Structure 1
Amino acid sequence: MSEVQHFGSCHCGAVKWTFTGPEVLDGCRCNCTVCNKKQNQHCIIKLDRFKILEGEDKITTYRFNTGVAQHKFCSICGVQSFYHPRSNPDAVAIMPHCIDGNTLKDVKWSYFNGQEWEKEMNKRAPAAQ
């Protein structure tokens, strides 16, 4: 699978980022409490492949429970286009629907039972791409 440079942003465009990855990403649908409320669907990317281009000063962080996950939001429009997941704190989870342009060809989805987070992590931790 060929690697491409993807670009993404929040709704208002204040927060912009890029990463290098395949045209077809592995995605995760999670049902933990916060993902369920947000209808979160994400793709985990290795941190060294991800870079914030603009708006780092416009990012607000939300943490809860263990405080490991860092949920990042644009302070202007409120869109979460990426975050640092508890399952992979040294990675970044991007929201594929926030990728701009047509570099993303498809997402292969898997399900993560976040309601039983520890049990699910013992079975298989989501891997960064």
Structure 2
Amino acid sequence: MRSESSRATSPEATGLLLEGGCHCGRVRFRVRTSERRALDCNCSMCGMKGFLHLIVTKDAFELLSGSEAITTYTWGTHVAKHTFCRFCGVHPFYTPRSHPDGVDVNVRCLDGDAASRFVVEPFDGKEWEANVDRIR
């Protein structure tokens, strides 16, 4: 279960079982979550990618296909692993710096109308150090 000190949801939580993937379809994943909030971060990376964040535990995430299509970009501390499809360039999920043992799913990459089930909350990632504890 999600603790008060962590926004990452665990697979034990009852909730939605959702699937998603990249634009070309090579990368496909499944995620289980009870979380209904997604974060819209304004940092230099997320703002450019248009990433809407849903942070889950690794046990709540399953890569269904496309491991060979995934490539990774890192910078700075190299803790965050920004994965994306090397064919279409879409970022369906990554390893976040705030939760290096978790997975951050891009809500916009979920199938169908799944994104409409989430309430989007702003997150001030431009001021990362001052705000990161809010999502840990």
In structure 2, stretches of 5+ residues that fail to align are: 1-12
CA offset digits 1:79-98 (Å, max 9, x no partner): 00111111111111111111
In structure 1, stretches of 5+ residues that fail to align are: none
In the alignment, residue 13 of structure 1 is paired with which amino acid?
G
Give 1:20-99 correspondences, 5 Å limit. 20-22=32-34, 25-99=36-110
TM-score normalised according to structure 2 size: 0.82
* Bigger fraction of residues in strand: 1
CA offset digits 1:96-124 (Å, max 9, x no partner): 111113455511222211111111124x1
Q: Secondary structure at the match of 1:29?
A: strand
| Runs of 4+ that moved beyond 2 A | 101-105
Residues paired across the two proteins, number: 124
Instruction: Report the identity percentage.
Output: 38
Q: CA offset at residue 47 of structure 1? A: 1.3
Indicate whether 1:118 and 2:129 are aligned: yes
**Contact 1:4-1:103 within 8 A present in 2 as well:** no
Where relative contact order (Cα < 8 A, 6+ residues apart) is larger, the structure is: 1
Q: Report the aligned-residue RMSD.
A: 1.9
